Structure 1
């Protein structure tokens, strides 16, 4: 209620109801009455813009958008209307600039009112169209300069995708320890790890040992298990969920002797891998199992001084893995290494169980002395605390 006795909220609700019922003229009169009585704000100007649009009054619409943005420059509804006007006029760059301002303000998955959700969806679609058209034009210009994709540097191709909005940029986000000045690499070049040849060559032997383990229903336990002395934080419903489970050969720097004894050929295949040895912390070596339909949601790892390696051992169709802005399908018997401190997730879209062998290695950029220093640091942290620290793969 304002000093003049006018209930602006009630008046705005009535004008909005008129607009929704198709009475654009009545809505416009109602919103302008509020403005005349001193009830000016961005939401009222937005109402005027919508009513003017319904009445095909371009002059009133443009004025309302401008006045509203003067009061609230980052109002997403008004910015989208302004972007729509630029799009209608054929000024794609200006339209994209305004749409993108809104998209940067609103995170993915945000809960929005229905009208704004619809407008944001339209903004995303338009930006996607602009990006595609822009990429096509640049591709043609590059071809004229003798640059084509498919035969060129894969790194250049990815840089082009980032420039044209097809890929998002992801960075390392280690939760526990950050070693500075390490390269931001999502999947590492397989040629850097010639010792993986031995692991891949042993795929059949590893699979045979795994199949014997799978005969024991109690062998695998949930990957994320609760602890009585820790609060529950089960946002993704993975706590104690057997749909994502593990059979550990080594866990937090200690061998699980009975499990190692069941998989001697698996352990032999890893003999040449540069696996960290840090008391109570590394390595962890395990078979990771995903049941049909399982999705491991986006997350990032703990320390960036290591890489995580995968070897698919049981692999149905429909299994994918994303690290940063790159999605790959596992290939049976083909290993890879990736930086798990970069946001990543996994899917098993099949009707069968997927199992990979998972282990960690030192990052190849670390010198021998730096590996010794990191090892000493983590063990010193344990000595200082006087107890075993929390740790996980």
Structure 2
């Protein structure tokens, strides 16, 4: 058995340091054993035999060499028996301290650091991985009860509730696990390795042994660090300056110049960034997504590729913000999340990067992740206004925690800071107040929003609008300019009713209203068209109805509306709410209408009639009551507002 540990000097004068042979180490070890057995045989039997066996089997040669050299340097010429025993035992605690944890024993005493890196044993494969002692990534603190972390305002279990399948406590702020089908899964490990300060597994074998780092390597590293954002060779100054000056005024010329220079310096950060910026400008000029994707690829390379990654923090942050913005513009939210996580990790003291990450999650309806990030942000920056309004929004939408939503939304809005004066936040604050029975406060919020130009009026609160369009709560058939199309549908109302009942009798064809608009009761829908597209599967159950809609272009092509059956059961109340846009009108064809059903739009209330149209502008506040005893069934048909031009119909985004 090879005994690896220390060179022990027993009862002899100091001699110049020299390397001990294996036989000498073995003889020294035998002497130590004799001494310690006389004092304590049990200690010797356990501490010597067990640890020798463990070390010989578990610790690689590199670690053995480190321990030996370190102890040789630290040993005094003469040692008493206790010092000898500590010299043998204590160095091994570096490698076996995980075993102490396994058996819940007290941790070992701190051991002086051997070199600039410490070795850590991988208990899975017994390899040695080296990591910097001063890691930028802080160790995760011992978990504490969440209630202890919250201020009195947040001491409510409802705040921590989460309607998702993923428990709230398991979500990580910086590196949230995404769905399995996300693009480029391999990005995760690479990003962790680049920015956590650790080494990737494939690089672990390339780490120099402690003490073997030479001055040439240091000089080379210093030189590379100086080139954090490279300087342009004076030979290319004129061309570079000309290219840079033309990025905005003549991006096509700038692109050609950058590509010419990149032939000579293909890894120049400044040239690559200039090319990306020129491509970005061209994509805006020509509305060409292919050019934008090429620009994004270069931005990613400058952010994530270790070989040419920008190391200057200010420049890195600037490029990262542009990259995320361009990614979200294209709808590439998953890639944007990955880059934004890197920004959060690299700039942990900037709450705006955390806010942006939460906002991207909200864009893809991942409210649980957004809530967790915002909650952690507010624990550190309690009065960050952007985090406040978004957190209040999430509490209302995800948890229906109206009381706390009002507190956070109001505090954020009243700050008046940029990013808080948006119709979305005023609308949700007013809605929460209304549902809490505080109608006068709600109306005050809506009025303030209208005065700030966030709403068309206190009652017309849609967010995607064309200001010039005629606005009134109810419309007559002739006012719409589509009376002939409406009459063709109306002529077949009994067949439309029959198809609706057939679909209703099929299992699980109607789905619950999904926008949390019900105060109480039951309200379900069966969608035939959405955003100008036909639902082929559902239309198989209602072929006549869908064919009639297909011949009604204002309805079938309405990218900002739907066509659907709507069934409401007795004792149902729908909260007052508004639609998303004033670019459409909403028409209801009464199919089965019992007594006691009412629709309020603005300040006017009406009811449905079987076989007749009821047309209104749902960008106005509207509310529904069903106080009858039978089901109410209507066909909902959204149509383009008659003042929307053909060109606008083609170019407006879908909702």
Q: TM-score range by the shorter chain?
A: 0.3 to 0.5
- Select the structure with the greater relative contact order (CA < 8 A; seq sep ≥ 6): 1
Between Structure 1 and Structure 2, whose CA radius of gyration is higher?
2
Q: TM-score, normalised by structure 2?
A: 0.29
Larger % of helix: which? 2
Q: TM-score, normalised by structure 1?
A: 0.47
